[in-house]
Structure 1
Amino acid sequence: MKELTTDHISQQFNNELEALRQHFLTMGGVVENQVQDAVQALLDSNGVLAEEVKNQDATVNQLDGLIDEECTRILAKRQPAASDLRMILSISKAVSELERIGDEAKKIANLTLNLVNEGESPRGYVEINRIGEMVSRMVHDALDAYARLDIDMAIKVAKQDRNVDQEYNTAMRSLVTYMMEDPRSISRVINVIWVLRSLERIGDHARHTCQHLIFMIKGVDVRHVNVNDLTPDYKAK
Structure 2
Amino acid sequence: MRRLFDEELADLDSSFTEMGMLVSQTIQKSVQAFVDHNRETAKLILDNDYRINEREAAIEKKTFEMIALYQPVTTDLREIVTILKAVSVLERMGDQARNIANSTIRVKGTKHVPEIEAKLGDMGEEVASMVSEVMSYYVKDDAIGAEAIAAKSRDLAKKAGQVRLDAVNGMKEDAELVDSAADYLVIAGYLKRISDYTTDIAEWIVYKRTGKIIELNPGSSFFI
* TM score, norm. by length of structure 1: 0.87
Q: Does 1:122 align with 2:108?
A: no
Q: Kindly indicate whether the alpha-carbon contact (under 8 Å) linking 2:163 and 2:184 is maintained by their aligned counterparts in 1.
A: no
Q: Does 1:52 align with 2:30?
A: no
Q: Distance in 1 between the 2:38 and 2:127 partners?
A: 20
Give the secondary structure class of the aligned counterpart of 1:111. Answer: helix
Report the counterpart of residue 69 of structure 1 in structure 2.
61
**Could you list the per-position Cα deviations for residues 76-117 of structure 1 after superposition, in whole angstroms to 9, with x for gaps in the alignment?**
1111100001001111111011000000000001111123x2
Q: Distance in 1 between the 2:177 and 2:111 partners?
A: 10
Report the counterpart of residue 102 of structure 1 in structure 2.
94
Report the counterpart of residue 190 of structure 2 in structure 1.
198
Q: Distance in 2 between the 1:62 and 1:225 partners?
A: 30
**Could you list the per-position Cα deviations for residues 41-81 of structure 1 after superposition, in whole angstroms to 9, with x for gaps in the alignment?**
11222112111221221110111000110111111111110
Give the secondary structure class of the aligned counterpart of 2:48. Answer: helix
The aligned amino acid for 2:180 is R
The aligned amino acid for 1:208 is D
RMSD in angstroms over aligned alpha carbons?
Answer: 1.7
Report the counterpart of residue 234 of structure 1 in structure 2.
none
Report the counterpart of residue 5 of structure 2 in structure 1.
13
Report the counterpart of residue 202 of structure 2 in structure 1.
210
How many residue pairs align between the two structures? 218
Task: List alignment gaps of at least 5 residues for structure 2.
Answer: 220-224
Q: Kindly indicate whether the alpha-carbon contact (under 8 Å) linking 1:158 and 1:208 is maintained by their aligned counterparts in 2.
A: no
Alpha-carbon shift at residue 143 of structure 1 (Å):
0.9
Q: Distance in 1 between the 2:158 and 2:217 partners?
A: 19
Alpha-carbon shift at residue 134 of structure 1 (Å):
1.9
* Percent of aligned pairs sharing the same letter: 27
* TM score, norm. by length of structure 2: 0.92
Report the counterpart of residue 92 of structure 1 in structure 2.
84
Q: Kindly indicate whether the alpha-carbon contact (under 8 Å) linking 1:30 and 1:56 is maintained by their aligned counterparts in 2.
A: no
Alpha-carbon shift at residue 225 of structure 1 (Å):
6.6
Q: Distance in 2 between the 1:54 and 1:122 partners?
A: 25
Report the counterpart of residue 230 of structure 1 in structure 2.
none
Q: Distance in 1 between the 2:135 and 2:43 partners?
A: 25
